[in-house]
A and B are shown apart, each in its own frame.
Chain A
Amino acid sequence: QKEVEQDPGPLSVPEGAIVSLNCTYSNSAFQYFMWYRQYSRKGPELLMYTYSSGNKEDGRFTAQVDKSSKYISLFIRDSQPSDSATYLCAMSPLYGGATNKLIFGTGTLLAVQP
């Protein structure tokens, strides 16, 4: 079993839809949770960063973490064709005075149709 599981998609939605992207994980030591957006043949771009459980909102993006269920989500409101990309979840254990390695999901390919 992989430490981080993510549905690879592809996920196709019409413009303006609410998108829900999810990851599950098995390692209870994970405390930091991130979402990256990766356009084709480009490097990952940090979208959202959350610590422990709870919600965080940034514009059209909302990240949720439920540590009791080992489940994280990214919601995109009013989706745009420019949101079409691969979305990667990533997580790491407790920060201990240094940057810890990230464990990534496989990524979900999202296509927003105009």
Chain B
Amino acid sequence: DAGVTQSPTHLIKTRGQQVTLRCSPKSGHDTVSWYQQALGQGPQFIFQYYEEEERQRGNFPDRFSGHQFPNYSSELNVNALLLGDSALYLCASSLSSSGNTIYFGEGSWLTVV
């Protein structure tokens, strides 16, 4: 049973560029959430997708956007990258009917230079 898979694992971008990160949830899970984890900090909630719609959003600007596909996989897009966007981006999957048992992927390390 595959867990949560994310790609790419590492990437380097230049300020002002755009990036797309991808996530496949754990088998059978229908809800995908994205978190940003800066060095030395706990993960911060960006947003959550369920039934291909954004359900909840954290305190992140509109430069952060996402999408969920019919197979429940998801993308996180960040436009106009800033140095401060450098972080580990984590995808978390869960099953909407089973509450708050949430599993994380290994993350995508983004460095903005």
- A residues in contact (CB < 8 Å) with B: 4, 6, 8, 32, 34, 36, 41-46, 49, 88, 90, 92, 95, 97-107
Which A residues lie within 8 Å of B31 (CB)? Answer: 98-99
Option from A8, A34, A41 in Cβ contact (under 8 Å) with B100: A34
Which A residues lie within 8 Å of B4 (CB)? Answer: 43
A60–B107 Cα distance when bound, in Å, is 27
- B residues in contact (CB < 8 Å) with A: 4, 6, 31, 33, 35, 40-45, 48, 50, 55-56, 58, 88, 90, 92, 94-96, 99-107, 109
* Contact A106 B40, CB 8 Å, known A43-B90, A99-B31, A99-B96: yes
Q: Closest residue of chain A to B55, judged by CB?
A: A98
In the complex, given contacts A92-B100, A104-B42, what are 20 additional A-B residue pairs having Cβ atoms less than 8 angstroms apart? A4-B42, A8-B40, A34-B100, A41-B109, A42-B106, A43-B6, A43-B90, A44-B104, A46-B102, A49-B100, A88-B42, A95-B99, A98-B31, A98-B50, A99-B100, A101-B58, A102-B43, A103-B45, A105-B42, A107-B41
Tell which of A43, A44, A97, A107 has the most Cβ of chain B within 10 Å: A43
Query: Cβ of B48 and Cβ of A42 under 8 Å apart?
Result: no
**Could you show 8 A-B contacts with beta carbons less than 8 Å apart?**
A6-B42, A41-B88, A42-B106, A46-B104, A95-B99, A99-B50, A99-B95, A102-B43
